[in-house]
Amino acid sequence: MRIGIYGGTFNPIHIGHTSLAQSLIEQRLVDEVWLMVSPQNPMKQPSADDYNHRVNMAIIATKGMPHVQVSDFERNLPLPSYTITTLNQLSLTYPQHQFTLIIGADNWQRFNHWYHADEIQRRYPILIYKRPGYDIDPQSLPPTINIVDTPLYDVSSTEIRNHKKLKMISPDVLKYIRTHHLYSY
Ligand code: ATP
């Protein structure tokens, strides 16, 4: 199967994330999307301590999305989780699947700074989804890198953590956040 690897901290997961995954499935760009919950993003603050909560919320938010799986595969990989390590380990563990990296146009701008960016590009197809304010010229991309159109939702996890835009998360995730008093809720 063609598996799209969509990584993030998902702290917490919101409608922007789930709609994007669903759209890639509906456009048949991949057969499944695996939401790769990162214990620690090399470019963000460490947040490994709330890992189980972030995984649980992702599972709750994707209930009823049969082609979207939540993966904690990076739990057992060295920290920080570098994408190339994850992709190579996934390929070894699941030789029957082909892995495609899914990243936002915001991340594409910084992609050159990613650990072993060349190897990622050489070994794995990349799907770049559009983000407002980050235009990319498709002509500048090699054939294994494609830009995809997905619905755009104006929301970030930061806003949810700051008690804003609560309509942009699943009610069950909000319930989970309140039950566990996450983000001072
Ligand atoms: P934070 O506000 O904590 O920085 P975030 O909302 O950007 O978080 P991440 O966990 O970093 O969420 O999300 C993983 C990836 O999802 C990001 O690299 C980004 O490209 C993408 N993403 C974030 N928000 C949206 C959105 N509203 N629509 C589509 N993609 C999004």
Look up residue 85 and give its amino acid. T
Instruction: Starting at the earlier edge strand, list the strands of the sheet with 68-71.
Output: 68-71, 32-37, 2-8, 98-104, 126-129, 145-148
Q: Which homologous superfamily does the CATH classification assign to the domain defined by 2-154?
A: HUPs (3.40.50.620)
Q: What predicted TM-score, i.e. pTM, was given to this entire model?
A: 0.94
* CA 157–ligand 1 middle distance (angstroms): 7
What are the pLDDT digits (tens) for 51-104? Answer: 999 999 999 999 999 999 999 999 999 888 899 999 999 999 999 999 999 999
Contact 146, 27 (CB under 8 A): no
Rounded distance, CA 60 to CA 13, Å? 10
Rounded distance, CA 75 to CA 147, Å? 29
- Residue 46: pLDDT band (50, 70, 90) is low
What's the pLDDT at 81?
83
What's the pLDDT at 58?
98
- Residue 167: pLDDT band (50, 70, 90) is very high
Contact 80, 116 (CB under 8 A): no
* CA 106–ligand 1 middle distance (angstroms): 9
What are the pLDDT digits (tens) for 8-30? Answer: 999 999 999 999 999 999 999 99
* CA 156–ligand 1 middle distance (angstroms): 6
Query: How crowded is the C-beta side of 179, counted as CA atoms within 13 Å?
Result: 9
